Structure 1
Amino acid sequence: MRAQSAQTGLKEELRSLLALAIPVILSELGWMSMSIVDTIMVGRLSAEAIGAVGMGNAIYYAPALFGIGILLGLDTLVSQAYGRGDFDECHRWLSQGVYIALAFTPVLMVFLWAAPLAFPYLRINPAVSQQTSDYLRVLNWGTLPLLLYAGFRRYLQGVKRVGPVTFALISANLINWGGNWALIYGHLGFPAMGVRGSALSTCLARVYMAAVLIFAAWKNEAGRGHPLFAHWPGIALERLRGLLKLGVPAAGQIVMEVGAFGAATVMAGRLAPAALAAHQIALNCAAFSYMVPLGTSAAAAVAVGHAVGAGDGPRARRAGWLALAIGVSFMACAAVVFLLAPHAILVIYTNQEAVVEMGVPLLALAAAFQIFDGIQTISTGALRGLGETRMPMLANFAGYWIFGLPLGYVLCFRHGRGIFGLWTGLTLALIFIALVLLFQWRRDSSRLALATLP
């Protein structure tokens, strides 16, 4: 009877986790789809255009995601407050996240405006650098709505209101697709803007996403008789410090990870345009499959945080392991697809045979790291639910910047392995990071479960 009861409880927890994870996964897929649509639609222009959009996004997202990463502390603070039943506290943490978004925006915009000035010193292929600069300068104007969207998203996920996040991202893809069609190629009376049109379309989609989530948060607060802006808290320095204490290491982890792939893209920019295009397409595919464990990771952070807030350590531990099982199962399937159907995937992006030929072995390398990529990102989310954000940052720093990128550089430029050398270094780095973070989760969650047993 006790075993049957435990099995029933596990099924309930799995259903609860999936109810949270599936909308978040759809949101992450919607987020990634915007980048994929951009890449596909400029792919009909030239290999240089594909490389320019890929490099522009790589350069943009490393610093921009630092600002988004700081707001990841809301996962821990809002979800734990919600687990305790303290809904006013959730609202207070949201307000501090908005202040951080407003403060970081001008800093990020200045940095991103200046980034193209470094292209000549990085020896970026001249055929790509000018289009990259054009794309990046326009994309920069979407920074504030992007950070506001990130803050309101963490709040809504923490209070189990994930539906609006999914709706915002799926509908934003339609706006982005229509904007790309009109602005890249010059339809509906608009001038043909090329890669700049793609960037402008993305900015408009971001404004829309931020507006949808702000409205959803307002509606959620009004539903409990506490209008969002009628009782908006002021700046609270102690709370800001608490949010930054969790958020800065989380942001550092994201920058280490995204920055590593961005650095690899910059290195690939020194190679032929076909190699850069193949790198960008394969990276797009790997990033798309990564959205499922990334969404599961966010759900794990919230589910673990709710359990910690409620003082239930064993439930927190089970939530983390269930999330890992979901993510690893999916990534194993993704690896099989990359191995069995690489050509069918690549021709979606481009009709250039040289790019397709180089992309096939890159997708094979992506298949090799799929499971490890799932382990590392879900372990990161589960640890964030516990309030641990430093170890993921340190593991990513050591794995990518001390080991993986230097190895990839040597294999690429010193041993003549080209783009495949770069990807070999990234693959080995992911394996190392996954093993470190899995061990950390196993240790920390076991201690918590033992400490809170009745």
Structure 2
Amino acid sequence: MKKYFQEFKYNFNLAMPVILGMVGHTLVGVVDNIFVGQLGSTELAAVSLGNSFIFIGMSIGIGFSTAITPIVAEFDSTKDREGGRSAFQNGLILCTILGFGLFFLLFLAKPILQYMNQPKEVVELAMPFLDIVGFSLVPLVVFQAYKQFADGMSETKYSMYATIYGNIINVVINALLVFGLFMFPKMGIVGSAIGTLVARVFMVIYMHFILAKNEKFKSFFKHFGWQSFQKSMSDKIIKLGIPSSMQMFFEVALFTGAIWLCGMIGTTSQAANQIALSLASLTFMFAMGLSVTAMIRVANHKGLDDYKKLNTVAHSIFLMAIMVEIVFAIVFMLGYQFFPVFFVNEEMTLNPAEIKEVLSISSKLLIVAAFFQISDGIQVVVLGALRGLQDVKVPMYFTFIAYWIIGFPISIYLGLYTDLKAEGVWIGLLAGLTAAAIMLYFRFRFLLKHHR
């Protein structure tokens, strides 16, 4: 165990900016939910429904962009700056194209909202919200290209700064436009969507200028343009990026399916699901930060062909993830009745009984979320290590089996055909995440054994 603990300090120093940045990234959604929650459960359910589509686009875009990090990290470990420059520039071009493509597909898919057996008033509110936040996918995916490049160079602090500043902008715009403070119009959830869009555009601008002016990164921006496109490097990124995006898509789609199922159960279940999901997503970002750390360090040691050290580093990060998630599980168990209160305002709602039900359901969901903290943490950190090894195809199949052959059918049965309802939906999520954690860890063990 001592050899694992010796890696904790370096892991922590590398992971903390990533964790803070990702927490900040998630806080954009949490802030939206807190502000919108003051308007009522219908508005909160509309944001939940709209985000169920946005999350799918985000999963594909963010998942694809993760292909940049292990490639850049491997080049960085061998001091191959030309290879790193090619990976960054081609990754940025591909992410820009993908961002616009996702927005276009989301726009075409918007009419599906009318046929999802959701409350009419929720759908009507979700439509304009979806238009604006859908367009914000473009700057989001472009930002991810810059972020994953900087992460691959083991410079994880810049994206943290970008998300902190982006959050400040988002909070200010939410306060002004959701409620119509000062001379600004009261725009409700549309105002919240505008805040998200403006914050994400700012984050791209910030990352570009902060990296382009940094001495360490200046050479990576030379001869930058569409002429930088190289088929061989682009093919490599696509080969890693598509399975990576599918892995993330399968997981996010599972939670999106949970949103839809809770919407079928009722507006209060959907609103409660959104509250619990916001809190669970916040803690998940800590595991995601450690996942990025695993991806970077595993890719570094892969580039050096040092698999003995790679194994030690990876397991030290796995151990850190387990310890962190146990703490969060305890926090959820202790505060399951306390945390949901922040997302609603009983004095401003027109239906106090409805809000009381939302609080009751979300409290039950947080108890289930406490149990799947550990499984969720393990699966995402091991997945990061596998990406560092550039092993993405088999994990893609494993995640599909875990989430859609095991997890979602359980959610459907327990949620729609038993008295557990929303709580049953989340038990299905727990089953899927646990299955993924087990399969992915044994895949990692298999690959390391092969390299010994």
TM-score range, shorter chain: over 0.9
SS in 2 for 1:187: coil
Question: 1:51-200 maps to which residues of 2 (within 5 A)?
Answer: 51-200=45-194
- Partners of 1:284 and 1:231 lie apart in 2 by 38
How much does 1:38 deviate? 0.6
- Given that 2:178 and 2:192 are in contact with CA atoms closer than 8 Å, whether structure 1 keeps it comes out as yes
How much does 1:11 deviate? 5.5
- Partners of 1:395 and 1:200 lie apart in 2 by 37
CA RMSD of aligned residues (A): 1.7
**For residue 298 of structure 2, what is the amino acid of its counterpart?**
V
**For residue 25 of structure 1, what is the amino acid of its counterpart?**
I
Aligned length: 442
- Partners of 1:367 and 1:296 lie apart in 2 by 19
What runs of 5+ residues in structure 2 fail to find an aligned partner? Answer: 346-354
Instruction: Tell me the equivalent position of 1:393.
Output: 396
- Given that 1:317 and 1:446 are in contact with CA atoms closer than 8 Å, whether structure 2 keeps it comes out as no
TM-score normalised according to structure 1 size: 0.94
SS in 1 for 2:154: coil
1:429 and 2:429 are equivalent in the alignment:
no
- Given that 2:212 and 2:218 are in contact with CA atoms closer than 8 Å, whether structure 1 keeps it comes out as no
Tell me the alpha carbon deviations over residues 116-139 of structure 1, each in whole angstroms, 9 at most, x when there is no partner: 301222111112111111211111
- Partners of 2:199 and 2:276 lie apart in 1 by 25
- Given that 1:169 and 1:209 are in contact with CA atoms closer than 8 Å, whether structure 2 keeps it comes out as yes
Structure 2 CA distance for partners of 1:275 and 1:304, relative to 1, 3 Å = same
- Given that 2:40 and 2:344 are in contact with CA atoms closer than 8 Å, whether structure 1 keeps it comes out as no
- Given that 1:164 and 1:212 are in contact with CA atoms closer than 8 Å, whether structure 2 keeps it comes out as no
**Identity across matched positions, percent:** 28
Instruction: Tell me the equivalent position of 1:382.
Output: 385
Query: Which deviates the most, 280-289 or 98-107?
Result: 98-107
1:260 and 2:254 are equivalent in the alignment:
yes
**Where do 4+ consecutive residues of structure 1 move more than 3 Å?**
9-13, 222-225, 229-233
TM-score normalised according to structure 2 size: 0.94
- Partners of 1:71 and 1:283 lie apart in 2 by 24
Question: 1:11-410 maps to which residues of 2 (within 5 A)?
Answer: 13-220=7-214, 222-223=215-216, 226=219, 228-230=221-223, 234-351=228-345, 352-410=355-413
- Given that 1:75 and 1:301 are in contact with CA atoms closer than 8 Å, whether structure 2 keeps it comes out as yes
SS in 2 for 1:188: coil
What runs of 5+ residues in structure 1 fail to find an aligned partner? Answer: 1-5
- Given that 1:67 and 1:104 are in contact with CA atoms closer than 8 Å, whether structure 2 keeps it comes out as yes
- Partners of 1:182 and 1:445 lie apart in 2 by 53
Tell me the alpha carbon deviations over residues 138-193 of structure 1, each in whole angstroms, 9 at most, x when there is no partner: 11221221111000100001112111111111111111000100111112322111
How much does 1:15 deviate? 2.1
Instruction: Tell me the equivalent position of 1:3.
Output: none
How much does 1:90 deviate? 1.1
Query: Which deviates the most, 302-311 or 184-193?
Result: 184-193
